Amino acid sequence: MKLTILFGGASFEHEISIVSAITLKEKLSSFDLSFIFCDQDHRFYLIEQSKMKATTFSKGLHKKMPQLTISNDAFVQKGLFSSIEHKNTILNLIHGADGEDGTVAALLDFYSIKFIGPRVNACVFSHDKRYTKWLCEAKNIRTLRYEILTSSVHKDISIPYPIIIKPATLGSSIGVSIVREESELDYALDTAFEYDSSVLVEPFIEGVKEYNLAGFMADDKMHFSIIEEPQKDEFLDFEKKYMDFSRSEQVLKADIDGELTHRLRTNFERAYRGLFEGSLIRCDFFVIDGEVYLNEINPIPGSMANYLFEDFATSIEMLSNSLPHAKRAKVNYEYIHSISSAKGK
Amino acid sequence: MKLTILFGGASFEHEISIVSAITLKEKLSSFDLSFIFCDQDHRFYLIEQSKMKATTFSKGLHKKMPQLTISNDAFVQKGLFSSIEHKNTILNLIHGADGEDGTVAALLDFYSIKFIGPRVNACVFSHDKRYTKWLCEAKNIRTLRYEILTSSVHKDISIPYPIIIKPATLGSSIGVSIVREESELDYALDTAFEYDSSVLVEPFIEGVKEYNLAGFMADDKMHFSIIEEPQKDEFLDFEKKYMDFSRSEQVLKADIDGELTHRLRTNFERAYRGLFEGSLIRCDFFVIDGEVYLNEINPIPGSMANYLFEDFATSIEMLSNSLPHAKRAKVNYEYIHSISSAKGK
């Protein structure tokens, strides 16, 4: 199967996108893969498979590779006398801004390029943690209580310590702090506001049970990964997550009963249906006093959560055969014709 | 002031976008205007001002005009020997799909082109009427009760007749029906499902008071239009709305007291702030038993609701001087550098 991995982006998660792409090169080695890199200035480059290593990008060597432009139906490589069109299905692997905020989805849809990844609406409801709360509210999915602070409006936090402070739109734990007492608050807020003008405050629950589940829709049916209980040192900081994005060994199933498995899947499906079609997402859940809470939706999880799937390559192939099409309205100028003829023009 | 009006799009509202653009040619005649047409196949054309009439497009004459491609910082007109860059601020006047669903916003942001119009998040919460309900819920703005039907899941409607049936994502009353009794329901649903796979059902309230208010943020302050009580024959059907998009005479203020004016503005601002910055929107309200209900947010209203503003040209100029910038993360390859040096590479 042919597949093009699109990675990079003008994002705080640019580097982990590179790590993700390198990981998928191994995990999807049975595919006929190609790679398109989006640099921080939004230029596209076609990267030779043998050059898919981190230093290619950190040393700027990608600039010597063929530049591409995006055009109707294809990424185009312009030559002196002719152009080459790259028309494979794209796997959007740009984490964070560009990839997960709806930009790349809109771009690929506009140019009628088939892709695996969250569509615009799905991005808005998962990239911004405030809107994930609204989604869950509407879909009857439990989440932790929360408050929003903005850099312009300061207000007292009514959630008792310890609390967790998160920039509204960043992933990969960037800018996230646990605050145990008031004296630590200002520093944590300054850190978070460096990344976003809106910040989410939630209770921090010591030793909470956490479960990660990935899945996707294909042939109008949900397909789930195994459920993992992530091993973590409180929560993963950016450097640990960074390494985490290169995960490729399959993990062990969490030791939970069928009933909890069913409830985690039910909550996942409630969030997914009608919104995330076309994408493979990972939902991170808490279980508190026997109740399931959705913590986060990762619409483009690190290395596509390959380590959670028993047969990752087949999963990606199934998904790529079930992609939604962006519908286009047909214009027939009916009204203008009728008005023009009424005017006798 | 230089301004480029972008109009057309692959949308059911393609033709009314043309009408809107022609209307703005007159209303912004004090500006140095140019026009970019997006056809239904997503090709861009530069349209000479003298050719800005409906028949140019219905007869396909635009195809003889210079084609543009979108590129970093500019729309580019490629010549045989050199290229011309068009770098003006854009006014996004594509109604419906493309313009109001986040596509054009993402495209212009991706290529760092300044524009007047709703950003991606704002589009998602106004283009899809379901998400407008979620927004209003979260922002404490009253709306009518509603139910969602999808083309795959049929269920009984519990709202008593008469009801109004609306496709979730269409504007300009396309696909909208009033249903007074059950015998009319199937036809109305068939009509709505032609345009969208999700349909909103709301109570239809005979003779309800309706008020339209437009506004925008500039210099961190809200600027409001006058409030209009639209004269309507139950509700405007598409053909009437179509004509409505060419409105250019200023309307009379609704005869309401200062207190209601204040409440309408407060509700408008609640919806706008933190989401619609960069755009001039029109909110349509109902007043029922003295309470204000938000009916609809038009993030790119027909002919930019010019007829509601006392000085429309100045309003557009103020707005264009207060546009938000899309922030770009700077990539310094810190993590890749540190990992590479730890590995001794």
**CA pair distance A177, A162, nearest whole angstrom:** 10
Q: Looking at chain A, which residue has its C-alpha nearest residue B197?
A: A274
DSSP assignment of A164-206: EEEESS--TTTT-EEE-SGGGHHHHHHHHHTT-SEEEEEE--T
How far apart are the CA of B255 and the nearest CA of chain A, in angstroms?
34
Is A192 a member of any domain?
A: yes
* pLDDT for B247: 75
Look at phi and psi of residue A207 and say left if phi exceeds 0, alpha if psi is from -120 to 50, else beta.
Answer: left
Phi, psi at A78, each rounded to 5° = -90, 125
User: B80-89, B198-207, B322-331: which has the minimum mean pLDDT?
Assistant: B322-331
- Answer whether B116's CB lies under 8 Å from B320's CB: yes
Residues B129 and B232 reside in one and the same domain: yes
Tell me, rounded to whole angstroms, the distance of Cα A225 from its chain centroid.
Answer: 17
* pLDDT for A112: 96
Q: Taking CB atoms and an 8 Å limit, are A18 and B131 in contact across chains?
A: no
Residues A97 and A26 reside in one and the same domain: yes
Q: Is the ipTM of this complex over 0.85?
A: yes
* pLDDT for B321: 97
**pLDDT for B225-267, tens place per residue?**
999 998 765 555 556 666 667 777 777 788 999 999 999 999 9
**CATH value at residue A160:** 3.30.1490.20
Whether the bond between B162 and the residue before it is cis, its omega within 30 degrees of 0, is: yes
Phi, psi at A336, each rounded to 5° = -65, -40
- Answer whether B214's CB lies under 8 Å from B299's CB: no
Q: Looking at chain B, which residue has its C-alpha nearest residue A195?
A: B329
The total number of structural domains that make up chain B: 3
**CATH value at residue B47:** 3.40.50.20
Residues A101 and A160 reside in one and the same domain: no
Is A170 a member of any domain?
A: yes
Residues A133 and A239 reside in one and the same domain: yes
Is A343 touching B (CB cutoff 8 A)? no
Tell me, rounded to whole angstroms, the distance of Cα B271 from its chain centroid.
Answer: 14
Is A341 a member of any domain?
A: no
Q: What is the mean pLDDT of each run of 10 residues along chain A (345 residues)?
A: 97 94 96 97 97 95 97 93 94 96 97 98 97 97 96 82 93 86 92 91 94 97 96 60 68 90 98 97 97 97 95 98 86 81 61
**pLDDT for B59-73, tens place per residue?**
999 999 999 999 999
Q: List the 44-73 stretch of A: residues with Cβ below 8 A of B.
A: 54-55, 57-58, 69, 71-72
Other Cβ atoms less than 10 A from the Cβ of B26: the count is 12
Residues A134 and A46 reside in one and the same domain: no
The conformation of residue A37, written as its DSSP 8-state character, comes to E
Residues B52 and B196 reside in one and the same domain: no
Residues B12 and B91 reside in one and the same domain: yes
Q: Looking at chain B, which residue has its C-alpha nearest residue A111?
A: B42
Q: List the 102-131 stretch of B: residues with Cβ below 8 A of A.
A: 102-103, 105-107, 109-112, 120-121, 123-125, 128, 131
* pLDDT for B345: 47
Instruction: Give the domain extent around B195.
Output: 147-203
Give the best residue of B59, B75, B110 to mutate against chain A (max A CB count within 10 A).
B110
CA within 13 Å, CB half, B290: 1
* Sign of CA pseudo-dihedral A116, A296, A95, A59: negative
Residues A238 and A130 reside in one and the same domain: yes
Q: Taking CB atoms and an 8 Å limit, are B333 and A15 in contact across chains?
A: yes
Residues B192 and B229 reside in one and the same domain: no
Is A336 a member of any domain?
A: no
Is B56 a member of any domain?
A: yes
* Sign of CA pseudo-dihedral A73, A78, A79, A82: positive
Residues B186 and B293 reside in one and the same domain: no
Q: Taking CB atoms and an 8 Å limit, are A242 and B120 in contact across chains?
A: no
How far apart are the CA of B48 and the nearest CA of chain A, in angstroms?
19
How far apart are the CA of B161 and the nearest CA of chain A, in angstroms?
25
Show residues of chain A in contact with B113, CB under 8 Å: none
Q: Taking CB atoms and an 8 Å limit, are A110 and B96 in contact across chains?
A: no
**CATH value at residue B232:** 3.30.470.20
Q: Which of B40, B335, B336 sits opposite A55 (nearest CB)?
A: B336
**pLDDT for A304-338, tens place per residue?**
999 999 999 999 999 999 999 877 888 888 888 87
Is A334 a member of any domain?
A: no
How far apart are the CA of A107 and the nearest CA of chain B, in angstroms?
6
Residues B215 and B300 reside in one and the same domain: yes
Is A328 a member of any domain?
A: no
**CA pair distance B229, B166, nearest whole angstrom:** 22
Of the residues A203, A220, A239, which one is the last residue of a structural domain? A203
* Mean pLDDT, range B10-24, rounded to an integer: 94
Residues A134 and A283 reside in one and the same domain: yes
Is B343 a member of any domain?
A: no
When pLDDT is cut at 50, 70 and 90, the band that residue B151 belongs to is confident
Sheet strands (E) in B17-150: 32-38, 44-47, 67-71, 74-78, 83-86, 90-92, 115-116, 147-150
**pLDDT for A81-117, tens place per residue?**
899 999 999 999 999 999 999 999 999 999 999 999 9
Reported pTM:
0.94
- 3-state secondary structure (DSSP) of residue A146: coil
